[in-house]
Structure 1
């Protein structure tokens, strides 16, 4: 397209999740409830880990950071999507679109690496229990978490820098409910081959590298579990790992489908549906999966509730005593 016929893009319009008026209120209530559960579940898990001394271990340190990441990257998508659902014009500024994409890509990449770190943590805990506190020292844990955030920061910076070299001619309509790479590549007015190759290489590297660490860790875990003489020990190890594997499978499967295939008008619809899983559903499921399948978390929650009830009873008794004393 020639520069003379190209209007500078200052804002974009989303097609959104659906154009059916009957579905919009249903989807709004459904995703509002999902977002509220995401915030409540992850904030609750962070609070529980903070106030429960016996949860101050590397495993729950990583889990608390996972909950923080889920809150952040879900919050880059869900509020805007909820505002757009009942709206006729789903508009976002071009700068706002790039900002949303930057934070989404950064936090999503950090989550991929943090899930791999959590698999390594489980390997050390099960295969080398006597050396666990030495290998997973506070300094090492902080470094692993910082490395996950740094990987996300670098990945997002590279993608946004490459995106800035593209030209877009307005008016611009993208077939999605948030700003993502493939829909933007599809409507660009210049060649996007470099961007698509860069996304394929970086996303492919991130997924392969983290999956390799996860698979290696769990292969070693299986060997260690097979050598355990105690059935209770095997059950505890499998129970702890099952929740982590469930979170990994959902997140990696949808991300792989979304980014490791070429963009086309037909694939954008299926990619939009797939992106719902890892942008909206997974952040809600993570605290539920880890809480419902983890006896330590359930015990900490029951202890926390019991302490709160005891505190309230103490306050009530004190107020009653003072009242009758007067």
Structure 2
């Protein structure tokens, strides 16, 4: 009987202090293996986005710089999610420090993604609602500064949010072989306002204004398309490209909200309690979202499809490939 009990423990030599090996239901086990596959796919797809935008100079636009930062955060989140799959399905043998760093890094990547979604919404708001001032207000330098500030704030904020486990790793573990990521109730509810209510409210308000303005501009262009002269054709094409970008990024934002909203409720419940939620919970949606963004780019952006062909054909290794006409 003791041998059987020892076989079910993470650390058989610590009978009274070891956790039992997690037992997953078949559905949870299938989802976690699927999650691991999605994590690998997320890393690969977002790496393609990072290489594409970083390599080709023609893609170094303010909007694409935001997409590059979003791809970096999704890439990190995908890498860290492999540890989450391990945490959910097996005993934790990586130690308390890796456990707390796992929660810290994943939260930084998630917070950065939220901030980048807000920046994307602001970018599209200015481009559609105030197009005349867009080139002067939204420059590559300003976008880089905003992106750096977004990451800096994410690092500092999550350092404060996870101060309990960063200063005392493993304080919430009840036995050896466990990795519990939790915070106080007060911190959880404050984070709910800062990381959920506030950014989602800003995103929805901005994109509602973008949608209303885009619809009115589209109607105006259709009604005056016959009267457009060659002199103004460049302006019309610019408006159409901005509207198309707004539509594509709108899909990215909507998919993010659909995945993030239910997932964050489960995540908040987990970090404010000492219980680990089952793998089949809404957190699974949050791990799928970073994988969907490159798929959306591939569907809506011809330049991304062309960049992928150049990457896989190794043409990016040729001299002067950075100057390739990708648009």
- Choose from 54, 57, 63 the match for 1:59: 63
1:146-157 alignment to 2 at 5 Å?
Answer: 146-157=148-159
Tell me, which stretches of 5 or more residues in structure 2 are unaligned?
1-16, 223-238, 319-327
Matches of 1:290 and 1:151 in 2, distance apart? 27
Deviation at 1:167, TM superposition (A): 4.8
- Aligned residue pairs: how many? 280
The 10-residue stretch of structure 1 (135-144 or 27-36) with the greater mean CA deviation from structure 2: 27-36
Partner of 1:70: 74
Whether 1:180 aligns to 2:181 is yes
Deviation at 1:14, TM superposition (A): 8.7
- Choose from 257, 267, 272 the match for 1:249: 257
1:91-170 alignment to 2 at 5 Å?
Answer: 91-163=93-165, 164=167, 167-168=171-172, 170=174
Distance 1:20 1:220, change over 3 A: closer
Q: Which has the higher strand share?
A: 1
Distance 1:13 1:203, change over 3 A: farther
1:200-279 alignment to 2 at 5 Å?
Answer: 200-228=189-217, 229-231=220-222, 233=240, 236=244, 239-260=247-268, 268-269=276-277, 273-278=281-286
- Choose from 288, 293, 300 the match for 1:281: 288
The 10-residue stretch of structure 1 (39-48 or 292-301) with the greater mean CA deviation from structure 2: 292-301
Are the aligned partners of 1:31 and 1:82 in contact in 2 as well (CA < 8 Å)? no
Are the aligned partners of 2:192 and 2:268 in contact in 1 as well (CA < 8 Å)? yes
Deviation at 1:200, TM superposition (A): 1.0
Distance 1:22 1:157, change over 3 A: closer
Distance 1:96 1:115, change over 3 A: same
Are the aligned partners of 1:239 and 1:294 in contact in 2 as well (CA < 8 Å)? no
Distance 1:202 1:302, change over 3 A: same
Are the aligned partners of 2:66 and 2:147 in contact in 1 as well (CA < 8 Å)? yes
Are the aligned partners of 1:84 and 1:90 in contact in 2 as well (CA < 8 Å)? no
CA deviation map 1:156-187 (0-9, x unaligned): 1112223447954742575xxx6532xxx6xx
> Could you state the TM-score of these two structures normalised by the residue count of structure 1?
0.72
Partner of 1:315: none
Whether 1:31 aligns to 2:35 is yes
CA deviation map 1:122-166 (0-9, x unaligned): 112222223222111122101211121122112211122234479
Matches of 1:160 and 1:98 in 2, distance apart? 8
Deviation at 1:212, TM superposition (A): 2.6
Matches of 2:99 and 2:288 in 1, distance apart? 22
Deviation at 1:264, TM superposition (A): 6.2
Superposed structure 1 runs of 4+ greater than 6 Å apart: 303-307
Deviation at 1:293, TM superposition (A): 2.5
> Could you state the TM-score of these two structures normalised by the residue count of structure 2?
0.71
| 3-state secondary structure, aligned to 1:180 | coil
Matches of 2:212 and 2:20 in 1, distance apart? 49
